Amino acid sequence: MSTFQAPKGTYDLLPPDSAKFLAVREAIAAPLRNSGYGYIETPGFENVELFARGVGESTDIVTKEMYAFETKGGTKLALRPEGTASVLRAALEANLHKAGNLPVKLWYSGSYYRYERPQKGRYRHFSQVGAEAIGAEDPALDAELIILADQAYRSLGLRNFRILLNSLGDKECRPVYRAALQEFLRGLDLDEDTLRRAEINPLRVLDDKRESVQKQLGDAPLLRDYLCDACKAYHEEVRELITAAGVSFEDDPKLVRGLDYYTRTTFEFVHDGLGSQSAVGGGGRYDGLSEMIGGPALPSVGWALGVDRTVLALEAEGIELELPAATSVFAVPLGEEARRLLFAKVTELRKVGIAADFSYGGKGLKGAMKNANRSGARYAIVAGERDLAEGVVQLKDMESGEQAAIGVNEIVAELEARLG
């Protein structure tokens, strides 16, 4: 037992499980790369103000969950609790919006940090793959992103997820709704904290997961009854495009998402196999965020999908991903001369793209073959003094148990042919 342990609410990703996480990241990224999205990476921490302004001062993320700290130079920084604000900041700083075609399409992958009460599926550091399309207001873009996320999940074999969809209106119609909702909330029996939140951002109260609050929200006014004609038409087009692509969704008039910057389209991917933490990902349109963080008006839309949550969803559906074997060939040398020769062959095999490993530490035949077995390799190459005197090595098929002598100089070509 080592003296150090991973901090509470975090986890280490170790083989063989880590291969599953890599496969999930790859599956989510593949449709994005195929649709004009370029990869972006941003720092793990940013100026604390970026999130206070961007994510919203009244959100739980900023008030309770952010890891904020002061540097020795007195700068206030925070570990990133989400990806969008950082990506937009980076795009603005590099003037990507001036460089040519809008929207600027970006995708990212990384770890995010929130000081939450740890539970299954909710950690203090978590991994996401996200996508942002910056600088265009077009229902087809909103639809594209929802369709790509759906495609990613289906490529993994997931079936039991649902897409919830709503519109949050824009700066024309949202204030009218906001006032009506505040009026309604003032008449409820709510604690001081919640009432304070209702004054800053009443929509967040709809998102409150507590039974005592949800019970009182039955007759709350619904945003969809307050949408202006432009927002209604926009939302209708998003729905039509998704439907035409064969993607099914559910209208959820209470869906608001936990960040202040959303406008119009908002959506969530939920999986009923995950219990209370049912959201596996989500996103929406955030037309005012660029101005909030000091940039020009750049209407944008994006999403983030949780890698750890997606892995839990796969487990809930009993889906085993077909992962390529980490090692195809395992070399077992018996004696010094065989060691030099097989080490050279392993290096050669790797150069031609064959995954090969070697029995290190001078183990005997029995121990080395155990290692070969554990490695999952399809073939083992075994060579001792007698084999080398005859100019051959023994090639063993680990599945069938068949063994054949192959000329030392033919071994690479033979394995290339067999492994195709």
User: Within this chain, do residues 43 and 73 fall inside the same structural domain, yes or no?
Assistant: yes
pLDDT at 119 over 80: no
Lowest mean pLDDT among 160-164, 240-244, 276-280, 330-334: 276-280
Q: Edge to edge, what strands does the sheet with 263-271 contain?
A: 38-39, 104-113, 125-134, 300-306, 279-285, 263-271, 161-167, 250-251
CA-CA distance, 71 to 49, in Å (whole number)?
14
Residues 39 and 81 in one domain: yes
**Angle of CA points 30, 35, 39, to nearest 5°:** 65
Q: Are 107 and 30 in contact (CB under 8 A)?
A: no
Domain membership of residue 196 (yes or no) is: no
Same-domain status, 271 and 345: no
Question: In this structure, what CATH number is given to the domain that contains residue 365?
Answer: 3.40.50.800
Q: Which of 316, 343, 375 is the last residue of a domain?
A: 316
The confidence score (pLDDT) of residue 64 equals 78
Q: CA torsion 398→402→405→411, rounded to 10°? A: -40
At 132, which helix (H) or strand (E)? strand 125-134
pLDDT score of 326: 86
Looking from the CA of 60 toward its CB, the CA atoms found within 13 Å total: 14
Per-residue confidence (pLDDT) for residue 265, from 0 to 100: 96
Taking alpha carbons only, the member of 203, 209, 206 closest to residue 262 is: 203
Q: Say yes or no: 274 and 376 in one domain.
A: no
Are residues 415 and 270 both part of a single domain? no
The answer to whether position 64 is within a domain reads yes
Same domain, 145 and 97: yes
pLDDT at res. 400: 95
When pLDDT is cut at 50, 70 and 90, the band that residue 259 belongs to is low
Residue with the two structure tokens 């949202």: 174
Cis omega (within 30 of 0) on the bond before 16? yes
Per residue in 47-77, is it b (16+ CB within 10 Å) or e — as a string? Answer: ebebbbbbbbebbbbbeebbbeeeeeeeeeb
Overall size of the chain counted in residues = 420
Question: Are residues 144 and 89 located together in one domain of the fold?
Answer: yes
On the CB side of 331, CA atoms within 13 Å amount to 29
Provide the token pair at 235.
């939302």
Q: Is residue 182 part of a domain?
A: no
Name the residue range of residue 380's domain: 329-419
User: Which of 287, 316, 345 lies at the terminal end of a domain, its last residue?
Assistant: 316
- Total domains present in the chain: 2
The CATH number of the domain holding residue 268 is 3.30.930.10
Whether 253 and 384 map to the same domain: the answer is: no
pLDDT band for 202, please (50, 70, 90 cuts).
confident
Whether residue 276 is predicted with pLDDT greater than 80 in this model: the reply is no
Q: How confident is the model at residue 1 (pLDDT cuts 50, 70, 90)?
A: low
Q: Which band of pLDDT confidence, cut at 50, 70 and 90, is reported for residue 58?
A: low
Does the residue 194 lie in any domain? no
Q: Report which residue type is found at 101.
A: N
The set of residues, in sequence order, having a beta carbon less than 8 Å from that of 286 and lying 6+ positions away, is 84, 259, 261, 262, 263, 300, 301, 302
β-strands 104-113, 38-39: how paired?
Answer: parallel
